[in-house]
Structure 1
Amino acid sequence: MQSWTLSRTLGLGLGLLALYFPVAIYLKYSYFPPPEPPVIRTFMLPPFTKVDGDGHAYQASSEYIASLDALADSRDDSASSPILIYENDKPLGPAHSSHEDIEKIGYGRFSHWRGMGIIFSASDVTDPNTNGRRYTVVVPK
Structure 2
Amino acid sequence: MCDVLGAKTALKRIVLHLARSKEYPEGSSRHGYDLVAPLDAAGRLDAQAWRDARARCRVRRFWDGEPTETGHLVHRPGGKGGANWAFDYDPARSADDEAGYRFGDHSFNPGDYVSIRDEDGALHTFKVATVTDA
Instruction: Give the structure-1-normalised TM-score.
Output: 0.30
Q: Which one has the bigger strand percentage? A: 2
Instruction: Give the structure-2-normalised TM-score.
Output: 0.31
Q: Which one has the bigger helix percentage? A: 1
Larger Rg: 1
Task: Select the structure with the greater relative contact order (CA < 8 A; seq sep ≥ 6).
Answer: 1
